[in-house]
Amino acid sequence: MSLIKPHGSDELNPLFVYDPAENEALLKKAEGLASIVVSSATAANAVMLGGGYFNPLTGYMNKADALSVAKSMKTASGLFWPVPVLNLVKDAAGIKAGATIALKDPNIDGNPILAVMEVKAVEEFTDDEMALMSKEIYRPRPEEAHPGVEAFNAQGKVCLSGPIKVLNFSYFQSEFPDTFRTAVEIRNEIAERGWKKVVAFQTRNPMHLAHEELCHMAMKRLGCDGLVIHMLLGKLKPGDIPAPVRDAAIRKMVELYFPKNSAMVTGYGFDMLYAGPREAVLHAVFRQNMGATHFIVGRDHAGVGDHYGAFDAQTIFDKEVPAGALKIEIFKADHTAYSKKLDRVVMMCEAPDHKKEDFVLLSGTKVREMLGKGIAPPKEFSRPEVAEILIKYYQSLQK
C-alpha cells in the first residue's frame, strides 16, 4: 500500500534546493542580489515551503490569492487552502516585479540568506483588506487583544509574491538536529517503518498523562500502527515552555510508555499563528503532506484566550471544508482527564455520569506553581519521569 497522497499533487514538491552544488551556486549568486530581511512569519513560511509541508504551493501568494483564501479557503485558481502564505513587508525598498531577490533570515545573527525569490508582483493591501484578512483568518473577539492578529499586522501591508528556492532551514536544523524533520523526511521514515495508518498529534506543550492516553486511544480506535508526535519548534508566546524542554519531556514519555516502533517524536519549523479553526485546517494540510492518514484535533486546538468555542476547530471540518478537499481524516477528541471513579483516563464526553469533582483536573497555573516548588503533580495527571524534567526547568527560572 502506498502512502497517502500529498495535498494538491501526486508527488511531494519541496522547495529546498537539495543538490549541494546547485545550493552553493545559488547562495553565491544570492550574495550579489538585492535583499530584504523578512519577518519571522515569512521566514517560517519559507521553511515550511522548503520542507514540503505547504505542498503544492511554489512560493508566496499574491494579493488576489490571499484575499480569496481569507474569504473562501480557496486560491483564485480554486486550490483548497486555509490560510494565506505571504511575504509581507513594510516597505518594498525599491524592489520591482521581475526582480530576483535574496530573503534574509531575521532569526539568526548576521541575517544569513534563507531563500531566493523571483518577484512576480509587488502589491499593497489597503487597511480594509488587512482588517478583512485578520477577521476571516483569526476570527478574533473584537473586545479582546489577539496575539496572532497583532503579529500579522505588525509585518506591514506590502505583499511580495512569487516562487522561491529555499537554501537552508533557518535555526531549526542546527538547534533541533534530533527533532526537526521535513515532510519529505517524515514520509520516508513512515515508509521505512512500514506504517500504513498513521495518526499525527500536534503539540506546543509537554504532554501530560491525558495527552499520552489520548494518543493511545486514537491509535487503538483507528487501528493505527504509527503515531507521529509533531512539535512546533518556532516562535510561541511569552511563558510557553521552550522547545528543548518539551522535547526532552516528550522523548522520555515515548521511551517509557509507548511500544517500540509505534511512535516518532518530530518537530517542524513554524511560528504559532493562534488562529484556532483555520490553523487546525492548515495543520491537517501539512500533516497530510508529511504522510499521516489521521490527525487528532482536540478542544480549543490552536486557540488563544477566549477567542474560540471549545470545538470550533472541529466543526470547521464539517461545516466549511468541502467534501474531498483533504484526504486526511480528523480524529475529534474531547478534553481527556483521569476519572477517579473508573481509575483511568477518559474523554470527558464519554463519562456522562461524572461530575467535575470526579476528574483529576489541574489548571496550567496550578501545575506551574507546583513544579516551581519542586512538587510533582499527582501521577493521575503527569508521569513522574516527565514531571522531573519540568521541575528542573521551572526551578532553573528561579535562580
E strand spans, the chain: 35-37, 59-60, 88-89, 100-104, 113-118, 121-124, 158-166, 198-203, 226-232, 263-268, 294-297, 329-332, 336-339, 344-347, 359-360
In degrees rounded to 5, what are phi and psi of residue 203? -145, 145
- Residue 55 known to be catalytic: no
14 touches 184 (CB < 8 A): yes
Catalytic position from the list 13, 111, 188, 205: 205
Residue type, 198: V
Q: Angle, to 10 degrees, between the axis of helix 384-396 and the axis of helix 364-372?
A: 70
Which residue in 23, 204, 251, 368 is the catalytic one?
A: 204
Nearest Cα neighbor of 100 from 114, 118, 127, 80 is 118
Q: Which of 326, 328, 349, 322 minimizes the C-alpha distance to 337?
A: 349
Q: Is 204 a catalytic residue?
A: yes
Q: How much is the CA Rg of the chain, to the nearest whole Å?
A: 21
- 384 phi and psi angles, rounded to 5 deg: -60, -35
Per the structure block, which three cell numbers stand in for 163? 516562487
- From the list 109, 111, 96, the residue with the least C-alpha distance to 42 is 111
- Could you list the active site residues? 204-205
